[in-house]
Structure 1
Amino acid sequence: MFRSARIGDSFRKLQYSKYTSGLEYIESEKGQLAISENKIEVDKTLVLFGLNGSGKTQLLKELSKGNDSLGNIKFKAKDNSEFYYFSPSELVVSIKNSIENKTKNFGRALFEEKLNEYTPLILAEDEIKKINYILATDFSEILVYELEAEQPDEPEIPYFITTDSSGDVRCTSNLSHGEKYIITLVWFLKYKNESSLLFDEPETYLYPAAQKRLIEVLVILMDPYRNQIIVATHSKDVIKALRIAKIVNITKFRKNEFLINDDYEDNASIMGIIRPVTLLMVEDAKSRAFLDFIRDEFNLDDRIGKQSIIISAKNGFGDINKIYSSILDFDGFSFSVILDNDLEVKGEIPKNLESISLTLPGKMNPEYDILEVINRKRENFVSAFQSEHQYTVAQFLQTAIVCDDHDFFVELSKLTEIKEFDIFKIGFQIWLEDADNRRGCENFIRQLESNLQH
């Protein structure tokens, strides 16, 4: 089992790091049937989905060849970008056929004798843990023999010998398609891949829970500063797991014309991932950001079984009653008022809000609590920035009155040219390192779950 903190940290690195290679944008031009055009900027992750035959695989393969178009779709990659096309279905068939050909040509006995000429790669314990985590297996040892391909320009053929905790030994021929696929993927990403990954239907051979765990491991294995992840899928579980991705729907017309759409609500609805909505009302922008960080870190929407929409009052706590009264006139929503903890400390929570409100974790309010921890852990805060910003941040901390300066994040944003709420999030991560604060978040989520059920 991988700790949620490690998974969350990997997603954050992938989301906020600046990548040096990969796809910059895709755009669809107008045609005879494609009556609109669209240009979509691509971040670190991209999910393509559409009907069978909509062009997802075609697009990935054209990109892997270094081409810059597919019909009326144009794509632009950064200079010196390399892409590797990875298809589980093609991979498993290729391995199966290659091993069968070798055993047929040599005979089983001679083939096994020839294996002794190779020095196998022994997968590290951490890589085996990843495989077991995805598949819910109990492998204790995995040997990988990297065999020559049948053609000189083809990649090596991995041949596996696995041992599980009971001592049962199996080779590639006795493994399931899903086991062949996942072992090959982890081996490839860990020891072979240096390119951005074009992943065609990663859900192949995997049940839904394994699909989610695959995405978590994939994000851990990819280099967040160099590798881009582009996925073509039919699986809403993959899309939900790869929550930071840009989601793009592809529609194919006749004459090799395509239409692309990145409207999140449209695409989520098509994929069937819209859930019942709950409105979470908070006092201000900092409280909204703080709750948003908690939602991402602790998979809040999955925990409460609803899609959460966080809205903040324009003029602080004074607007909460007005917002609450207005929301009562709408059907189809559950809601909760999320207040800063200093209101509870001061005993200022109104009677009419007590039954549907709870307070954010922390001592006072998010801005105060995060500034307080920055003041205590200045070295941690400075080291969380990229090296080119660390001196500026350290100098700023020497002059700023951290716990009293309401403009702290604004001023530091101006100096570093880093977005104010990205700096706020760095402070949140340091705040979350405290075990009491993490427990406070867990207690908050449990209380929210209870409130929404009633």
Structure 2
Amino acid sequence: MIYLRSFMLSSYIDRNPNIYPDHVFKHIAGETLFLNRITVLYGSNGSGKSTLLNLIANKLGMLGSEKMASFEYSEYVRRFLDWSRYQLGSDRHEEEIRQLPEGSRYIKSEDILYEIKKIQQEAVLREGILYEQRSKGMTQEQVSQYASSHEFKKKMGIIQYSQEKYSNGETSIQFFEEYLLPGKLYLLDEPETSLSPANQIRLAEQINELARFFDSQFIIASHSPIMLGTLQAKIYNLDRSPLQTAEWYELDNVRFFYQFFHKHKSLFE
């Protein structure tokens, strides 16, 4: 299922080189991304891939979107958002959908690291669980009652136990297994954070399966060769102007790894 069919970046770029987010996207201003079931935004540090994810999340009003800049730049952010455009996909009857599926969300690498930190610190863990309940619509009174309940204490115990049992990478995998559900749109910012190569493949295959068989759509910011090589994705190279797609093995970061291992080829023979 394609929930978000396309996203067009604002064509207006302020002449002032310090204006955010104009200066981030000046090399691809006015370009349109045509999105597949899995679309990857690739680019070097500073290419704007994470900013673009957050821009899309803000434009769509998605859960997990965050304020893009300080008050100093709010006027320019609003202008950029206003000038950016998107087109939603169609349902099974070929009629354009009017809204994203409930539960669609933007998941940042910081969210994953916070989940790990939450497990590692009881106070942060407690606040994290209660915050999660508030975000689901509980009133403050209901949250207070929940905090003294057996259910809450049981959940605390389970997560604290997992702290001793699982590594950061395994905790990240658990996070994705819990939060990535069928029939949603997900924006993922560097989901490979803390994951070993084997777990990166495991996550990428989970994403492939959700997209192919369970009507989920993903837009992912990543420069991991393992993720890029495993995901069945359309890849946009944000390091190039005009905006263009590429095969995973053509990307600079992937070729850097290839050249590194090729240089040391004799050590593996």
Q: Is TM > 0.5 for Structure 1 vs Structure 2? A: yes
Q: Which residue of 2 aligns with 1:124?
A: none
Is residue 241 of structure 1 aligned with residue 208 of structure 2? no
Q: Is the 8 A contact 1:23 1:76 kept in 2?
A: yes
C-alpha change, 1:72 and 1:105, in structure 2 (3 Å) is closer
The equivalent position to 1:148 in structure 2, one of 117, 124, 130, is 130
Q: CA deviation at 1:43?
A: 1.5
TM-score (norm 2): 0.58
1:139 maps to: none
Residue in 2 aligned with 1:230? 219
Q: Which residue among 198, 201, 204 is the counterpart of 1:209?
A: 198
1:72/1:260 CA distance change after superposition, 3 Å: farther
Among candidates 158, 182, 185, match of residue 161 of structure 1:
158
- Bigger proportion of residues as strand: 1
Which amino acid letter does the alignment assign opposite residue 221 of structure 2? A
Considering only CA atoms, is the larger Rg found in Structure 1 or Structure 2?
Answer: 1
The DSSP-based 3-state class of the residue aligned with 1:272 is helix
Conserved 8 A contact 2:201-2:230: yes
Matching residue of 2:51: 58
| 1:87 aligned partner | 108
2:178 to 184, 187, 199: 187
Which structure is richer in relative contact order (CA contacts within 8 A, separation 6 or more)?
Answer: 2
Report Cα offsets for 1:347-376 as digits up to 9, x if no partner: xxxxxxxxxxxxxxxxxxxxxxxxxxxxxx
Aligned twin of 1:40: 33
Which deviations, in whole Å up to 9, do the C-alpha atoms of 1:306-354 show, x marking residues without a partner? xxxxxxxxxxxxxxxxxxxxxxxxxxxxxxxxxxxxxxxxxxxxxxxxx
8 Å contact from structure 2 (residues 183, 214) kept in 1: no
The one of 72, 81, 96 aligned to 2:117: 96
Deviation at 1:30, TM superposition (A): 6.8
* Residue of structure 2 equivalent to 1:77: 88
- Offset of residue 268 of structure 1: 2.0
**Cα-to-partner distance string for 1:186-233 (whole Å, 9 max, x where unaligned):** 02224xx65211111121111223212210122224574632111100
**Matched-pair contact (CA < 8 Å) for 1:177–1:205:** yes
**Structure 1 portions without partners, runs of 5+:** 1-18, 107-145, 163-168, 253-258, 277-454
Q: TM-score, normalised by structure 1?
A: 0.37
**CA–CA distance in 2 between the matches of 1:59 and 1:218?**
20
Alpha-carbon distance between aligned partners in 1 of 2:257 and 2:122, rounded to the nearest angstrom = 49
**Closer, same or farther: CA 67–222 of 1 in aligned 2, 3 Å:** closer
Written as runs of structure 1 = structure 2, the 5 A alignment for 1:116-127 is none
Partner Cα distance (2:130, 2:29) in 1:
48
Q: Deviations over 1:355-406 (max 9, x none)?
A: xxxxxxxxxxxxxxxxxxxxxxxxxxxxxxxxxxxxxxxxxxxxxxxxxxxx
Question: Which residue identity is paired with 2:199?
Answer: A
How many angstroms does 1:71 deviate by? 9.1
Q: Distance in 2 between matches of 1:36 and 1:171?
A: 46
Residue 250 of structure 2 is matched in structure 1 by 268
Aligned length: 205
Deviation, 1:184, is 1.6
Change (3 A) 1:182 1:261: same
Contact 1:60 1:198 in 2 (8 A): yes
Whether contact under 8 Å (1:236, 1:271) holds in the other structure is yes
SS of the aligned residue for 2:27 comes to coil
By how many angstroms is 1:26 displaced?
3.8
CA distance in 2 between counterparts of 1:213 and 1:224 reads 16
- Backbone CA RMSD of aligned residues: 4.3
Question: Residue 87 of structure 1 aligns to which amino acid in structure 2?
Answer: K
- AA at the equivalent of 2:178: W
- Which residue identity is paired with 1:42? L
Report the CA distance shift for 1:103/1:185 in structure 2 as closer, same or farther (over 3 A): closer
Aligned match of 1:171: 162
Task: Please say if residues 197 and 228 of structure 1, whose CA atoms lie closer than 8 Å, have aligned partners that are also in contact.
Answer: yes
User: Would you say the 8 A contact 2:192–2:227 is kept in 1?
Assistant: yes
Could you tell me how far 1:249 is from its partner in structure 2? 1.9
Q: Distance in 2 between matches of 1:223 and 1:160?
A: 36
| One-letter code aligned to 2:87 | K
Contact 2:28 2:242 in 1 (8 A): no
Displacement of 1:185 after TM fit? 1.1
CA contact (8 A) 1:26 1:42 kept: no
CA distances 1:62-85 after superposition (whole Å, capped 9, x unpaired) = 322344965976443333125411
1:85-136 CA-to-partner distances (Å, cap 9, x unmatched) read 1124423324524773548989xxxxxxxxxxxxxxxxxxxxxxxxxxxxxx
SS in structure 1 of the partner of residue 36 of structure 2: coil
Name which of 180, 196, 218 aligns with 2:207: 218
**1: CA distance, partners of 2:211 / 2:41:** 19
CA distance in 2 between partners of 1:105 and 1:228 (Å): 32
